[in-house]
Amino acid sequence: MLLEKGLAHNSLDSYTRDIGGFFHFMAANDIEWIDQVDTTAILAWLVHLKKEGLSARSRARHLIAVRGLFKFLIQEELIQADPIKHIDIPKIGFHLPSVMSLKEVETILSMPDVSIPREHRDAAMLEILYGAGLRVSELVAMKVEDINFDAGFVRVFGKGSRERIVPVGSQAGTVTLEWIRSSRPRMLKNIASRYLFVARAGKPMTRQGFWKAVKKYCLRGDIRRNVTPHSFRHTFATHLIEGGADLRSVQTMLGHSDIATTQIYTHVSKEHLLDMHKKYHPRG
């Protein structure tokens, strides 16, 4: 069932743990067969998770995993009734992502010293991160052959190993091509590596290593707000929508399977609309 969903390894591990915890609770309460689970048992399990200190977000994840299990069992005609069908997902609240201004982005992008090989690498990574809206895990996993400079796009393998093609700006392409031609060979020192962004001994740059680099350039540029690699992805999407991009295009570029996930950026962009209204409307 989980393999059919095409989930990444981390997601598979989480689903497996969540479902395993569910079975453990049922067994501890003398429910030995899956067709013995009813709505009351599901609610008791959710109360148990809350007493264990799990947040609404974590409880929602557990419930989604078990909901998927029962949906599969119904489809395979292994059970007749779905005890979880009418139980709502715990409300997890609405969290607006942190979005940088264009000035803040440009400041950070200008901080690396490209005469230093590792900072040249960081400059290219930052440009692609903002220019293509990648997840940091997608960025560090990129191979040299995943970027097409002539066509102006990058090939990305996202969650569940789903492949997508994302346009990348000319500035990101220029900085990255210069990195490949000059600084990357200096870092590799005759060591072969397929990875586009390398660290020591030809190994790929790590997520933690890049996170530290982002913090360093924020400090160097006197950016006070809390900026993470994921902030660039949020900013990429918001700036696109503010510039007039349609939601479906942004969904495709971000690799969201559900457009509802992308719609959060329309809420972020409302502040931009308010600013425009105040600035240009006679009664603003």
Residues 6+ apart with CB under 8 A from 78: 34
Radius of gyration in angstroms for the set of CA atoms belonging to the chain, rounded to a whole number? 23
β-pair partners for 49: none
Nearest to 97 by CA among 255, 198, 223, 239: 239
Among all residues, which ones are annotated catalytic? 135, 159, 230, 233, 256, 265
Tell me if 124 sits within 8 A of 147, measured CB to CB. Answer: no
Q: How far apart are the C-alpha atoms of 76 and 74, rounded to whole Å?
A: 5
Backbone angles phi, psi at 68, to 5 degrees: -65, -40
Burial class (CB in 10 A: 0-12, 13-18, 19+), 109: buried
Residue 179 near residue 169 (C-beta atoms within 8 A) = no
Assigned token pair, 244: 């007039």
d(CA 40, CA 46): 10
Nearest to 168 by CA among 137, 198, 139, 130: 130
